[in-house]
Amino acid sequence: MLGTRATEDAAGGGEVPPVRARGLVKRYKEVLAVDHVDLNVQTGDVYGFLGPNGAGKTTTLRMALGLITPTEDIVELFGRDPMREGAHALEGVAGFVEAPRFYPYLTGRKNLELLAALDGADAKERIDEVLELVELAPRAAHRVGGFSHGMRQRLGIAAALLRRPRLLILDEPATGLDPAGMRDMRALIRRLADEGITVLLSSHQLPEVQDLCDRVAIVDRGRVVYEGALADLRRQGGAGYRLRTTDDVRALQIAREQRGIDFAAAGEHGLAFQAEEADVGGLSLALGAAGIGVLALTPELATLEDLFFRLTENDGAGEAEQPPPALAAPPTADERLVKAP
């Protein structure tokens, strides 16, 4: 049992991880939404939970927060199982699943005051601090109904920060944001991580994960196809090269026929492929023999996008995620942890 492992960690002086799951399963009748998922979020991680829409990310987070019951196994937060220990297991944990919800006819400040009353302790005294942190202080007296999507997302993070979390769980925080909003959201998450908060970030936005995360789990059709350091994943991708020529169409054909050249594809900035250094020399000679001039040939580490599609693209469509019905507003004190009213 995971609970036994957590106890052993504590007894041995080891630090209990913020999130740990082994073999997590969730079925909805014939649909296997989460298929034996393992997660290992360590203290201080900015951990990217990455996958296409419908891959099982939100269902996994719902189980982690005790909103739905796993079909098999459990998730532990700081060594505690939310299904057995309820709200006690969520101490030091905050965030939101899907989009945070607020009373639209109330101001941003009034919404936070209501949530602070549920949290107790010094939450009410922190309202000004968290509004400044998420850069909403100038709009705090405005009704939430007039907020943009990005402002609501930032208000959701402000609500989570009232709890002084050690672990912040964010489900697709940049979805629906314009480029400026995405930039601001990344900067905010980076500031929170710099303050020592462990962040578990679910996303299908590859640039967001590549810019922010140091460790990732990539999930496809409910299964984790990679978990570990992002830098290790990119190194495992092998040596990549970017090529521009006087005739990229013919160059791509030659590259695909050349021995030792893998994953050759045309892109916005020329051709991309993987190969050992000796095989790159052979490609250069083949291009020269075909009368094709090489304008640029540069080595580069595989991007997260390259690796993501290599791990998740195959024949057939994945099963769609089947989440349970949405929580009704206003939420209970326990539900409010992950769904603002």
User: In which band, very low, low, confident or very high, does the pLDDT at 239 lie, cut at 50, 70 and 90?
Assistant: low
Max Cα–Cα distance, the chain, nearest Å: 75
What percent of the chain is predicted at pLDDT more than 70? 85
Shortest CA distance to 93 belongs to which of 81, 103, 84, 101?
A: 81
Give the residue range(s) of CATH 3.30.70.260 domains in the chain.
238-300
- Mean predicted lDDT score pLDDT of the chain: 83
User: Residue 75, SS3?
Assistant: strand
Local confidence band at 182 (pLDDT 50, 70, 90 cut-offs): confident
Which residue shows structure tokens 């957590």? 6
Tens-digit pLDDT profile for residues 204-215: 877 778 888 989
Domain at 238-300, CATH homologous superfamily: ACT domain (3.30.70.260)
Q: Tell me the pLDDT band of 340, cut-offs 50, 70 and 90.
A: very low
Q: Which of 102-111, 135-144, 202-211 has the lowest mean pLDDT?
A: 202-211
Judge whether 89 and 16 are in contact, CB under 8 Å: no
Place of tokens 């990005």: 150
Q: What per-residue confidence (pLDDT) applies to 36?
A: 94
Fold for domain 2-233+319-337? Rossmann fold (3.40.50)
pLDDT value of position 236: 67
Q: Tell me what pLDDT residue 302 has.
A: 63
- pLDDT 10s digits, 249-305: 999 999 999 988 987 888 778 898 888 888 899 999 999 999 999 999 988 766 677
What is the structure's pLDDT at 337?
A: 46
Residue 31's φ and ψ, nearest 5 degrees, are: -90, 125
pLDDT of residue 86 exceeding 80, the answer is: yes
Question: What CA dihedral angle connects 180, 182, 186 and 191, to 10 degrees?
Answer: 50
pLDDT score of 90: 92
pLDDT, tens digit (0-9, with 9 covering 90-100), for 307-338: 777 777 754 343 333 333 333 333 333 444 44
Backbone CA torsion sign across 127, 132, 136, 140: positive
Question: Torsions phi, psi of 207, nearest 5?
Answer: -60, -35
- Is residue 2's pLDDT more than 50? no
Q: Who has greater pLDDT, 235 or 149?
A: 149
d(CA 147, CA 151): 6
- Given a cut of 90, whether residue 111 has pLDDT beyond it is yes
Which pLDDT belongs to residue 303? Answer: 66
In sequence order, which ranges of the chain are alpha helices (DSSP H)? 2-11, 57-64, 82-85, 108-119, 127-133, 149-161, 179-194, 206-212, 230-236, 248-257, 277-289, 304-312
Percent of the chain's residues with pLDDT above 90:
53
From 37, 22, 65, select the one nearest 324 (Cα to Cα). 65
pLDDT recorded at residue 3: 40
Q: What are the tokens at 316?
A: 């057939």
Please classify residue 247 by burial: count the beta carbons closer than 10 Å to its beta carbon, then call 0-12 exposed, 13-18 middle and 19+ buried: middle
Per-residue confidence band for 161, with pLDDT thresholds at 50, 70 and 90: very high
The C-alpha atoms of residue 79 and residue 204 are separated, in whole angstroms, by 28
What would the mean pLDDT of 123-131 be, rounded to a whole number? 93
Start and end residues for every CATH 3.40.50.300 domain found in the chain: 2-233+319-337
Closest by Cα among 248, 249, 243, 251 to 290: 251
**Helix (H/G/I), strand (E/B), else coil: 127:** helix
